Structure 1
Amino acid sequence: MAFVYDLCVVGAGMTGSAAAREASRLPNYKVCLVGPAEPKVRKLVTGNEVFGSHYDEARIASATTSKVPVWGILAERSIRRYGELEQLSGVHFYDSVGSLTVGTRNSEYIEKVEKQARDQGYSRNMDILDNRQLKSKFPYFDFAPDDLGIAEEKKAGIINPRKIVMAQISIASKNGCDVIRDTVTRIVRQPDGNSRVVTENGRTILTRKVLLATNVFTEVHNLLGDLRPLYVPMPQTVTLAEISPDDAERLRDMPSVKYKGYGGPNWPSDYPRESHNNIDFYLLPPVRYPDGKYYIKLGHSDVILKGPLKVSEMQKWYCGEGDKTLEEQMFRLLQGILPGVKFLSHHGDACITMVTPNSQPYIDLVTSTLGVVMGDNGWAAKSSDEIGRIAARMMIHSRWSYDLPREMFELFTNVTGPPPVSKL
């Protein structure tokens, strides 16, 4: 008799690995996690390639910087378990360097962040800093005179996406989860109710239930058939600016930064702005990358690059370095933000965010045996452990079993054509 898994998680990124780890905790529950390992070089060879947004060394981990309240809840619950995950796996992926949210004083953005923090009970971990206090505490930054900062020093910092995936997979494997490094190209429902999961290399996996954690690459292999999740695949570009080891040591206490405001007087005037003349970016402190060099990373908001990408464009986008013109503008902005730092080089990198109509993640059952967990909206890295936990429990019980309403995570779809552009 052929071996049948209880659950096959398709997609071995941050949320998929977290779901597999959570499901594998259940005694005698047979779980497999399927997804290719990160390639040494991102390139198209067979046309079946899928890529992950976790191919990086640093992401913001904070409960107060999210625009949508549910992301703060998911982040706080995930951050609470980071220590346990590090201990169980032996993999260090979290550094509590703190986070800093900055914007124009009395702006809608700053007031919204403050209100959300108060409503969710995070304000006890925050310090409100005027421009003078910002200069005193973070002398290397050059913000505007009328900027206000919200500093979160406890339970905030940065995570390493590659290493949190490594940690989740390590724990899942210890729990008995089988990790299959291959790309799923087809899922076939069988007459007996089980599903046949077929991989690029010809492997067939039989399973009672399937959880898709494939984000924007779900449609590359048509894994949901005629069902089309509603989302906008937004192209993302970052600049990675190299600094010396000495500067990295000098800036080792730099927090992560989320900024939305009019910008500093010495920042470049040609940087693309949003409505209301705002500059919107996020900034990561110095991190050592696999090439042995230290980089500071700066990324843009969703509305800067035009979307959506077509499905046929996604693989090629991941294999490039993003929009070169925008990357150069971002680097010049970084020079204005950190005028005392000598940058040795800079280059771009690219990924894609799956922006949903309500800016919240999809965690839902398509049928009693097929579920989805996707819709990162650019905020899922820090929250991935809780998202995976919700999805795993949903699949195990074949029903919603969480203390937040299912409607918050419901999958919006159509079956007649491509997804429309949602309002960002």
Structure 2
Amino acid sequence: MSSIGGIAADAGILVEAYDDAGLAQRFPYLGFPAGTRGYFEPQHAGYISPRRLVRAQTIAAQRAGARIIAEPALGISESATGVTIRTRSGDVEVERVLVAAGGHTQSLLGQSLGFVVYARTAAMFRLDAAEVQRLAGMPSMRCFGPKGADPYILPPILYPDGQTWLKLGGDPVDIPLESEGNIQDWFRSGGSIPVAEGLEAQLLERIPGLQIEERRVVPCMTTFGTTGLPRIGPLSDRVTVAFGCYGKSAKCSDELGRLGSMALLGENHGVLAA
């Protein structure tokens, strides 16, 4: 927490600092254990809609001249003259390729790059209009507890199904997904019910009296290395990778993508790799 306060001060980010009593006064619908300290960003902070983010990035790419092929890449092979990307509808021949496939990257390339893919479970809770109104103004939260219960919690958000859901995640243990088959099996499994139950208990501690209409369990995954840095850089003259998100790629994706394309073009100055 002291690091967060220092970073905010160094970067000139406006934050409001609260002790447990101040948090209770500022956010009366939330519950905080004694001794809690919090930083609240009242401006330029919040949550990201993955659907809108991907749509916006796709439109930006098309405006810049990109051709979008909305199919999974099934395999990549490199030759002396170029790179072949295999899809269900045929091969795509390119001069160079940037592989930014998250947890699928290593299996797509057929080689280990020193990162581990972990299963993750998120839980979503449908709220009625009264609860949505009661929690109006609720911030996005990243919680850190003394016993390793460190969930992220999003405020009530209206989803494409027309319902308002409150989402949180935070797995107590790391379960590695060691192959593409493991990844596919995990997403077909629907996620971990015990993890979701633990998340629900944590949510009820932090929002006392929360009235839940329905719970959904959502499987997810993330990719971790040993340094805390993503892997951004060339594997060969024609294949470059950008992956290894540690669960942070959505909010950083514009900049990570820029660094990946710099690496693809050979502009390696300032590009970090792990």
Q: TM tier, shorter chain?
A: over 0.9
**Corresponding residue number in structure 1 for 2:177:** 309
Matches within 5 A, 1:386-401: 386-396=255-265, 398-401=266-269
- 2:136, 2:92 → 1: CA distance? 46
Residue 60 of structure 2: aligned partner: 171
Q: Distance in 1 between matches of 2:37 and 2:178?
A: 39
Identity of paired residues, percent?
26
Residue pairs, 1:18-417, within 5 angstroms: 110-119=1-10, 121-122=11-12, 124-191=13-80, 193-201=81-89, 203-221=90-108, 223=109, 225=110, 227-262=111-146, 277-301=147-171, 304-311=172-179, 312-396=181-265, 398-402=266-270, 406=271, 408-410=272-274
TM-score, normalization: structure 1? 0.61
SS of 2:143 mapped into structure 1:
strand
In structure 1, what residue type is equivalent to 2:191?
Answer: G
How far the C-alpha of 1:216 sits from its partner, in A, is 1.4
Q: Deviations over 1:207-247 (max 9, x none)?
A: 111000112112334x2x4x311112111111101111232
Once the two structures are superposed, residues 32-52 of structure 1 have per-residue CA deviations (whole angstroms, 9 ceiling, x without a partner) of xxxxxxxxxxxxxxxxxxxxx
Cα distance per residue 1:21-78 (max 9 Å; x no partner): xxxxxxxxxxxxxxxxxxxxxxxxxxxxxxxxxxxxxxxxxxxxxxxxxxxxxxxxxx
Q: Secondary structure at the match of 1:234?
A: strand
> By how many angstroms is 1:333 displaced?
1.8
Provide the TM-score with structure 2 as the length reference.
0.93
> Cα distance, 1:388 vs. partner?
0.5
Q: Give the 3-state SS of the residue equivalent to 2:229 in structure 1.
A: coil
Specify the SS of the correspondent of 1:125: coil
Q: Which has the higher contact order (CA 8 A, sep 6+)?
A: 1
Letter in 1 for 2:105: T
Query: Secondary structure of 1:241's match?
Result: strand
Q: How far off is 1:368 after superposition?
A: 2.5
Task: Identify unmatched segments of 5+ residues in structure 2.
Answer: none
Kindly state the Cα deviation for residue 376 of structure 1 after the two structures are TM-superposed: 1.1
How far 1:136 sits from its partner (Å)?
A: 1.1
1:167 deviates by: 0.4
**Contact kept in structure 2, 1:284 and 1:297, CA below 8 Å:** yes
Provide structure 1 residue ranges, at least 5 long, that are not aligned to the other structure. Answer: 1-109, 263-276, 411-424
Q: In structure 2, do the counterparts of structure 1 residues 189 and 220 end up closer, same or farther at CA, with 3 Å as the change threshold?
A: closer
2:233 partner amino acid: D
- Shift of residue 328 of structure 1? 1.2
Q: Is the 8 A contact 1:237 1:348 kept in 2?
A: yes
Given that 1:189 and 1:196 are in contact with CA atoms closer than 8 Å, whether structure 2 keeps it comes out as yes
- Once the two structures are superposed, residues 331-352 of structure 1 have per-residue CA deviations (whole angstroms, 9 ceiling, x without a partner) of 1221121113211111210111
CA offset at residue 390 of structure 1?
Answer: 1.2
Offset, 1:112? 2.6
What amino acid sits opposite 1:339 in the alignment? P
Q: Secondary structure at the match of 1:157?
A: coil
Deviations 1:117-164 (A, max 9, x none): 334x24x41111011110111111010121111111222111101110
| Contact 1:216–1:233 (CA under 8 A) maintained in structure 2 | yes
Give the aligned residue type for 1:299.
G
Aligned partners of 1:195 and 1:207 also within 8 Å: yes
User: Shift in Å at residue 114 of structure 1?
Assistant: 2.1
- Larger deviation: 318-327 or 152-161? 318-327
8 Å CA contact 1:320–1:349 kept in 2: the answer is no
Query: Does the CA contact (< 8 Å) of 1:185 and 1:200 recur in 2?
Result: yes
Distance 2:9 2:225 in 1: 26
One-letter amino acid matched to 2:219: A
Q: Determine the C-alpha separation between the residues in 2 that align with 1:323 and 1:228.
A: 26
The superposition leaves residues 143-201 of structure 1 with CA deviations (integer Å, 9 ceiling, x where unpaired) of: 0121111111222111101110000101211222100011222222233x211222123
Superposed displacement of residue 283, structure 1:
0.5
- Matched length: 273
